[in-house]
Structure 1
Amino acid sequence: MTGELEGCTVAVLATDGVEQVELERPRRALEEAGARVELVSVVPGPVQAMNGDIDHGDTFSVDRRVTGADPADYDGLVVPGGTINPDRLRIVPEAVEFVRAFAASGRPIGAICHGPWILAEAGVARGRAVTSYPSIRTDLRNAGAEVLDKEVVTDRAVTTSRDPGDLDAFCERIVQEIARY
């Protein structure tokens, strides 16, 4: 994957409560492929990551607030999960609009675990095949998505995966999708 994303900039949309491994692994894969990755958040930072929903992980510096971020500045978007991260993001209108505008542009979006919650909130899940953590599948169906139980699903530039066990497949696919764009 080395170099195929040279010159690309990718946003990772996260806030306090993000699942650490779901932030770190995709970011590392994107950077190893040559992309510049920016942490975009609804808070000024730093963002407190979690290992599961109980154990605090590391903190991560925010590169840009979502209120000052233009989706046109990015070649791809990744929304990590953790139960808390997307639940907090989906109640912030600017974060929802950022995702909605990104999807409207046709550029690649990746969301893992609980991350697809914001896809539902933004109306992006409607009419798409997706996968996710089991506990939000009913929400995705109610939002008009076709929910599959596969390690990675891509439908019209939106890539989703179920949980951290799918990170290898998720990271490989999101790099491919951004490179293809």
Structure 2
Amino acid sequence: IRLFSVTDRHFVYLGSSNSQMRDNGCYFYDDGKGGQAHKIREQLGKFDRCNIPKMMSRMGQCFTQAKRCTVTLKRHKYNKTYDIIGGRDTNQTFYIFSDGVGKVSQEFAEKIAFDVGLGTSVPSCYQIRHRGIKGVLSVDPSLDQRKHWAIANNVVDNNKMTNKQNDLAVLFRPSQVIR
């Protein structure tokens, strides 16, 4: 994409999300004296070790239309779980019923909804990106029920941070880890 001018202003390509690229959209920036767009892209992250397609994809995440959530998901509040697998198709390939969809507690889903301006309208699922994990989380009230049961019955989780089971806000599937 080349530089173009409108009146005395000079615009350069700044970036675009993956969906914008599919729809032939992007962001242009009035570069003024030059070099500012490059400095802005440098501040978006370290992309110098990626090949060009991966760099464009990673940079595109900075231009997504998603809403940023400021609710903190502490490390001891999430864990990974397995996909739900059962039965086989005609090629003897297992069916994956969970299809890589993780779980989020009702309580944590409510915090996210409030934070992104949805008030009391809590979606039944969220598309997320968190610390190298991306995908969909479905609201699962059983995470809250398990936590309340554990509290009522004085059941204490293992002290290992990554082995929590009773007081989780989120369960990710292995397939959600970005490789």
Tell me the TM-score range normalised by the shorter chain. Answer: under 0.3
Q: Which has the higher helix share?
A: 1
State the TM-score, normalizing by the size of structure 1: 0.22
State the TM-score, normalizing by the size of structure 2: 0.22
Question: Highest Rg: 1 or 2?
Answer: 2
